[in-house]
């Protein structure tokens, strides 16, 4: 059997998060987003060197921050410029679950011009999550028209 050029369960592009407390992050992502832990490899001190979780059928990799390896968490860097988009079946429920699990609200739930119902939260580890459910297929031309209208409003 031929081995694939892509790691089993992965896509061509995957996110890899460096966090301050990987065990707590996995617990949070399990409560907030229904993550399933696939793999955790431990360092001699018990910290997680590499972990894999699955959320909504997508692989997310994590590790404990380790300055010696050049990996720093958003907490160490003063924030993260990255926003993670997560599509779910029911954004209202997932948004509430994230808040109940300890995330803070960045943007309340709303229906957007591009056809998604969305809300944003900041997780306890410094990552912003854009949680969405697609509710309408909007043609590109209509999407641009709606955006133009939105920006022309006072």
- The confidence score (pLDDT) of residue 7 equals 84
97 and 147: one domain?
yes
pLDDT value at 23 more than 80: yes
Model confidence over 95-128: pLDDT tens digits?
999 999 999 999 999 999 999 999 999 999 999 9
Asked whether the predicted pLDDT for residue 8 surpasses 90, the reply is: no
Look up the CATH number of the domain holding residue 9. Answer: 3.30.720.120
The tens digit of pLDDT for each residue in 38-92 reads: 999 999 999 999 999 999 999 999 999 999 999 999 999 999 999 999 999 999 9
Of 57, 69, 94, the C-alpha closest to 18 is 69
56 and 96 inside one domain = no
pTM of the entire structure? 0.91
Of 4, 42, 44, nearest to 23 by C-alpha is 42
The β-bridge relationship of strands 15-19 and 58-64 is parallel
The whole-number pLDDT of residue 32 equals 98
- Taking only Cα atoms into account, the Rg of the chain, rounded to an integer number of angstroms, comes to 18
Q: How far apart are CA 26 and CA 9, in angstroms?
A: 18
User: Is 18 in the same domain as 67?
Assistant: yes
Residues 62 and 113 placed together within one structural domain of the fold: no
- The pLDDT value recorded for residue 59 is 96
> What per-residue confidence (pLDDT) applies to 66?
93
Range of the domain at 7: 1-75
Number of folded domains that form the chain: 2
Residue 56's closest CA among 87, 78, 29? Answer: 87
Distance CA 93, CA 111 (A): 15
Unique residue bearing structure tokens 């990552």: 127
**Boundary-marking domain end, from 24, 57, 75:** 75
Whether 96 and 65 share a structural domain: no
Q: Are residues 71 and 86 in the same domain?
A: no
Are residues 71 and 2 located together in one domain of the fold? yes
Supply the CATH number for residue 116's domain.
Answer: 3.30.720.110
CB contact at 8 A, 52 and 38: yes
């Amino acid at each position: 059997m031929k081995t694939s050029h892509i790691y089993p369960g992965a896509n061509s592009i995957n996110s890899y998060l460096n966090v301050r407390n990987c065990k707590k992050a996995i617990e949070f992502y399990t409560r907030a987003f229904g993550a399933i832990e696939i793999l955790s490899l431990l360092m001699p001190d018990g910290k997680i060197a590499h972990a894999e979780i699955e959320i909504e059928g997508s692989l997310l990799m994590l590790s404990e921050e380790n300055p010696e390896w050049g990996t720093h968490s958003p907490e160490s860097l003063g924030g993260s410029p990255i926003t993670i988009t997560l599509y779910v079946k029911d954004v209202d429920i997932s948004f509430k679950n994230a808040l109940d699990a300890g995330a803070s609200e960045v943007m309340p739930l709303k229906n957007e011009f591009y056809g998604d119902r969305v809300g944003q939260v900041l997780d306890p580890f410094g990552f912003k999550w854009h949680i969405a459910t697609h509710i309408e297929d909007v043609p590109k031309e209509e999407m641009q028209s709606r955006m133009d209208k939105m920006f022309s409003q006072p």
